[in-house]
Structure 1
Amino acid sequence: MDLITPGFGLVFWTVITFLVLLFLLRKFAWKPILGAVSDREDGIKEALAAAENARLEMENLQADNERILKEARAEREAMLKEAREIKNKMISDAKDEAQNQANKMIAQAQAAIESEKKSAMAELKSHVASLSLEIAEKVVRKELADKNQQIELVESMLGETTLN
């Protein structure tokens, strides 16, 4: 029954043993345990700080990516606008060049037509002149005394000749 009703000596030695154990644990176990817990706490804090830094860095990267994407879109739009302007200028230049060429060709054709017209008129005048000379020659060959015969001759010659 000594265990159920402890005596003063048992309590005294139990307390002394507990205090010695507590002292030994504090001297040899608590510091390493508290150091490990403190290290663990510091590691967790560092991990949280690193995670926060990584999150901030990711936000910055995302913002940079969005800015770069906006710049790329703006540059693409500028390039497309410039390409459209170049295309329109090239089309306009080609139309102007084609119009100039057409005007030159029309001018050349008109000049050629005018030249052909002048040539045809000169040929016609020459032909009329030679016909007139032939008629005059034939009239002169006939007797000049009979005027009625001369008129008949001229009229018959005129009827026989055709203008080409």
Structure 2
Amino acid sequence: MTLTLTVLLSVTSLFAVFLAAKSLLKIKICPLCAGVFITWTALLVMSWLGYAVDRTIVAVLVGESVVGLYHLAEKKFKEEWGVFRLPFLLSLTLAAIFLLDAERRPLSAIVFLAILWLLLALVHAWRNYPAGRGLVKKLIACCRDLPADRQAGNGG
């Protein structure tokens, strides 16, 4: 059995287990997210222990978790916090890069993100002033102008 098939079976099996657990135990969990998370965590630990693991597959699964966390946060936070979508997603991406390559610590990327967070915090603080209101509205509505079938990753 190939690693690719093993990964697909793992995610599918864990999805089914968490779907059943969610119904039986009345827990709030995304079965798909849990299946993906446990699969890439197991693969990452195996690679740290010296097993041959295709890091591309791990990276794809971690990327799925990054996007899942992004969408979860988007649902949980007030619309006005949409100003921070870009730095939030980029911070998750950088965390994933650090997780996958512990030796890669680009200080320049961390500084860039800190500056981006600071700039958007200033924009957010100015959201009630005419100069900032227009930019805040554009940042919050960044994906709204897409046709409904293209929003939230449906169809590219």
Structure scoring higher RCO (CA < 8 A, sep ≥ 6) equals: 2
Q: Which has the higher helix share?
A: 1
Pick the structure with greater CA Rg.
1
TM above 0.5: no
Pairwise TM-score range, normalised by the shorter structure: under 0.3
So what's the TM-score if we normalise by structure 2?
0.18
